Amino acid sequence: MKEHLVIFDTTLRDGEQSPGASMTREEKLRVARQLEKMRVDVIEAGFAAASPGDFDAIHAIAHTIKESTVCSLARANENDIRRAGEAIKPAKSGRVHTFIATSPIHMEKKLRMSPDQVVEQAIMAIGWAREYTDDVEFSAEDAGRSDLGFLCRIFEEVIKAGATTINVPDTVGYNIPFQYAETMRQLIERVPNSDRVIWSVHCHNDLGLAVSNSLAAVLAGARQVECTINGIGERAGNAALEEVVMAVRTRGDVFPVETRIDTTQIVPASKLVSQITGYPVQPNKAVVGANAFAHEAGIHQDGVLKHRETYEIMRAEDVGWAQNKLVLGKHSGRNAFKARLQQLGIELESDEALNAAFARFKELADRKHEIFDEDLHALVSGELVTPEHEHYKLIYSHVCSETGEMPHAKVILSVGGVECKGEAGGGGPVDATFKAIESIAGSGSELLLYSVNAITTGTDAQGEVTTRLAKAGRIVNGNGADTDIVIASARSYLNALNKLHSSLDRVRAQGDV
């Protein structure tokens, strides 16, 4: 019998700390539903004390999710922990995850606390957290650069105080697999009450070793891995969930553990997170990259045709690539459309939003023969900004682009219900369209990112555009999709402007805590 490996997903917390990757409450809910569908054990939904928006998103996720434990992060102080405890209250299964730094450099320079004070604070933190739940995780921030003797001491104390999971983060991605595994082995051996808790790893990818370090720690006894979809996260990111899960599954001969993840949900989760955050997945990314199962060399193609396992260690369909199936067509009705959205975990806030999305679906079905789940995700992302939040709306767009001439765009927008016309020239049709929109909106925002991605294959594929705008310390991502790339770009830009205009921005400002 294999032991269970707990998969703790922190896409919505550490992942959201990737620059510009913050999500709205609705976006977080969509990701949480997908994580639940994928059978993740623990969803770290956010950092409740960071902002009212973060609190609200965690609370909503705790209310909605039934099959995964919902967790909030908290620093080891009373206010943070009470906010976390309140945020997870509606959860069927809720966890408080509290942390304090334990490395000499963090204790001395950042916390300005002595090791004794840090131990004292950690014990009190566990006590406060236990008032809300008996599922309490303790992390020693920067454990990867902490003194082993001190880690043994603090872990023994917090276990006595009631911590049930002990996390050993390599916060700055400094460790090397054999060394990190040895730390984990020693901790489990030397902490006298180590058998009362689950040992956990949380590795950052600064040296590209996050997954290797996590797996090495599993071989040394860790039974929880903290990870994110597509490996997004602070700086170089976290260990990628899909890589950890597939390594454990594919190399069952090496790992004495198994997860309960439905691996066929991995690719849909990857696409959803990429689309919402605007972080593209590199084509050669393991498991979820577009080329992860593509065989280019003739010898490889020949081998795979003769016997698949000659060059494939995993099956594309096992991680959800084959799920890219036709779902709806031109003749599908509103109910079928709504039901499919629900299956995809997409809840539109109002009937108007559903009607608008359905109208867009019909329009798309006229132009694009086959409609896939990915198309639906893209199609509704703009609609998640409900009509009352939609200050700017595209009514008309025209662009003229010819060899030797400067492209010129004309747009008509509805601005708070009033029709406004704008026009501008630009370096290309998209540039001209953005300038024409800006001539009306006058937002003064800074364009941080513009990215285009073909959602499915074929020249009639929808182009999915992400536009990241910054204004007065706020950063928002706008999404837009259409078979016409200029329209997709305009929608994406307007989606971002609407988020800037309304309170529907990301749940907290980056760097709040």
Q: Which residues bind ligand KIV (CB under 6 A)?
A: 14, 73, 99, 139, 141, 167, 169, 171, 202, 204
Q: Least distance from C-beta 14 to ligand KIV, angstroms?
A: 5
Q: Which is nearer to Zn ion, 88 or 201 (CB)?
A: 201
* 36 interacts with, out of ligand KIV, Zn ion, none, CB within 5 to 8 A per kind: none
Q: Could you tell me which residues are beta bridge partners of residue 203?
A: 170
Give me the helices (H) in 65-209, please. 78-87, 104-105, 115-130, 148-161, 177-190
d(C-alpha 196, C-alpha 234), whole Å: 31
The one-letter amino acid at 84: A
Residue 204 C-beta: closest distance to ligand KIV, Å: 6
Where does 65-143 have alpha helices with state H? 78-87, 104-105, 115-130
What b/e string do you get for 225-252 counting C-beta neighbours within 10 Å, with b at 16 or more? bbbbbbbbbbebbbbbbbbbbbbbbeee
Percentages helix, strand, coil for the chain (3-state, rounded to 5) are 45, 20, 35
Looking at the Cβ atoms of 236 and 412, the one nearer to ligand KIV is 236
Which of Zn ion, ligand KIV, none has residue 99 at its interface (CB below 5 to 8 Å by kind)? ligand KIV
Which of 187/385 has CB closer to ligand KIV? 187
Q: Specify the residue, 167 or 433, whose C-beta has the smaller distance to ligand KIV.
A: 167
Asked whether residue 377 is marked as a ligand-binding residue, the answer is no
Among Zn ion, ligand KIV, none, what does residue 139 contact (CB within 5–8 Å per kind)?
ligand KIV
Closest contact distance (angstroms) between CB of 202 and ligand KIV is 5
373 is in an annotated binding site: no
Return phi, psi of residue 327, to 5°: -115, -40
Decide if 415 contacts 391 (C-beta within 8 A).
Answer: yes
In the complex, least distance from residue 238 CB atom to Zn ion, rounded to whole angstroms: 6
Nearest-approach distance from CB 143 to ligand KIV, in angstroms? 8
| Radius of gyration in angstroms for the set of CA atoms belonging to the chain, rounded to a whole number | 24
Q: State the virtual CA torsion across 450, 456, 462, 464 in degrees, nearest 10.
A: -20
* Site for Zn ion contains 14 (CB under 5 A): yes
Instruction: Answer for the pair 266, 248: CB distance below 8 angstroms, yes or no.
Output: no
Tell me if 204 is assigned to a ligand binding site.
Answer: yes
315 to 334, contacts with Zn ion by CB under 5 A? none
Residue 139 or 462 with smaller CB distance to ligand KIV: 139
Sequence-ordered strand ranges (E) for 198-265: 198-203, 224-227, 257-258
> Closest approach of Cβ 107 to ligand KIV, in Å?
14
Q: Is 167 known to sit in a ligand binding site?
A: no
Q: Which residues bind to Zn ion, rule: CB under 5 A?
A: 14
Residues that constitute the known binding site: 14, 202, 204, 238
Q: Known binding site for Mn(2+): residues?
A: 14, 202, 204, 238
